[in-house]
Structure 1
């Protein structure tokens, strides 16, 4: 028996394990403890890391294949009846699931803390900061000498920040920009390339675009935020001028609520979709810009989806573990 033949059973086991981990990582339901188990598995043997990289490449190939499938579905949609659309929902959902797999894997690979769909977590950081992370959120802690750096990779988080003994600033890197604060209370959300920063108490400086670890700031333009002020910025763009922050709406999730006031339909569905494990798919032809308002419970996201669906006479069909389809 050759060395290659001798190793094959272990390699097959590593491939199966890698595939299982990848499925669990992209499901959005892994706990912080399970993520640590994954990292230990990945790092304990070179063949584990190699198998996981191989599976990631395979999923990315599926990702590239999923987009043409979505295009075909859109081209055929004008001739679809409601029955045929729902009957083909599993195929459309599978393409969508393939499309979102690669970004999710990238986030899970980087993150130190990930919050499963429908949950919230309060995380004590090394400096005494309390980070509250909302559903589907992911952060990476990257403290270093002279800089308390946290990456908000996805979602929204609230930070209660104590002053550092050495005076080092606390920085949240999100969406290609940075928010610096010495101490205080702020909330940051990142979705669809738009980052929203609001100060609850204290002062913060918001820089964008800027590398997360950049420390030479004297020539960098920034926006200064005082208590109850907010700004937004798109990835690669400068932050807007400070404005009054609607803290009740921005922090509604801390009270178990989702609040919309004149929000476009598709954006509202996307927000609620963060509270469910499956991707939410809108059929073609829906008025994505219809303004909707309401107050919903984070504990009942399906009921919230059904309420919003009624504004366009849509039905909601859930395919457990695959997708939720509004058609």
Structure 2
């Protein structure tokens, strides 16, 4: 490698490391030793922190993942009514964008679709079972000896019927999860896809080398981003939605609200973006998302104003 090439290669490796740390930290399953290793990496070179902040800004989670080794943040602005109209306009624009061409494309492609709050059990033609989460869309393709489904949106749990001659794979925007005689959960969370294995193993193939995820573990990947090393998770907690419960353990508020949005009609908008990283822990019933929202507001000291189809939340 020439000297001219070195800076570019170093920058690329630093960016890859930043992405890997982002996804590992976002999983919520880091150990104290890993957090210490991350802090050491972050402070080893100024360029490391720049790379990590760039990734966080790209995926909108700087406040969520920034280590809590810094001075306390300045007080957040209070949620006042004079700003409601402007906030409602922004929320309305976001809602309009959500109902754009992409939404129409998903509805056109999907062979199986669930609406807000709806769960559906499916039996595919090969005998595999699927539990499709709310506000989710699935496309199937069993032609030409393939067993390939595409999760276009949302979340689904798969119990795969054995067929050694025809591997079963689930495609997402991040890559492909191929069953190795298994049951597993696939969830699209914004820019990333999370795969949780409840039985046997799954192979993830995306932008980088393939990764094998064993039973009781989870991995995540994103478009153009390789799957991170698998980490242990509580699979009963991850798949609690199948039993009518949502369990959050120190999850960021933005992610929690995005999940709740699959179970309630209307749009939830955070007036203050700095609230995205507030942490939420709790067990909630999927049949009563409004109670969950009220409990979260109370526990975090937030306020909500309903403007018909849009609910605004602020500090």
Fold shared by both chains (TM-score > 0.5): yes
1:206-225 superposed matches below 5 A = 206-209=204-207, 221-225=209-213
SS in 2 for 1:302: helix
Runs of 4+ in 1 over 4 A off after TM superposition: 78-81, 87-90
CA contact (8 A) 1:306 1:315 kept: no
Cα deviations across residues 154-213 of structure 1 (Å, max 9, x unaligned)? 11100011112x62000000123101114321111111111111211122211013xxxx
Structure-1 separation of matches of 2:226 and 2:274: 32
SS in 2 for 1:204: strand
Q: 2:268 aligns with which of 256, 280, 301?
A: 280
Cα deviations across residues 113-171 of structure 1 (Å, max 9, x unaligned)? 1111111111111111111011111110112223200000111100011112x620000
Q: 1:110 to 1:79 in 2, by over 3 A?
A: same
Q: Residue 84 of structure 1 aligns with which residue?
A: 82
CA contact (8 A) 1:195 1:234 kept: yes
TM-score, with length taken from structure 1 = 0.67
Structure-1 separation of matches of 2:122 and 2:260: 23
1:244-283 superposed matches below 5 A = 244-283=232-271
1:323 lines up with 2:275 in the alignment: no
Unaligned runs of 5+ in 1: 1-77, 210-219
1:287 CA displacement:
2.2
Structure-2 separation of matches of 1:181 and 1:83: 51
CA contact (8 A) 2:179 2:202 kept: yes
Q: Residue 299 of structure 1 aligns with which residue?
A: 287
Unaligned runs of 5+ in 2: 1-75
Structure number with the bigger relative contact order (C-alpha 8 A, sep ≥ 6) is 2
Structure-2 separation of matches of 1:88 and 1:242: 43
SS in 2 for 1:287: helix
1:282 CA displacement:
0.9
1:4-43 superposed matches below 5 A = none
CA contact (8 A) 2:132 2:157 kept: yes
CA contact (8 A) 2:180 2:203 kept: no
Q: 1:182 to 1:235 in 2, by over 3 A?
A: same
Structure-1 separation of matches of 2:136 and 2:261: 13
Q: Residue 14 of structure 1 aligns with which residue?
A: none
Q: Residue 4 of structure 1 aligns with which residue?
A: none
Computing the radius of gyration over CA atoms, which structure comes out larger, 1 or 2?
1
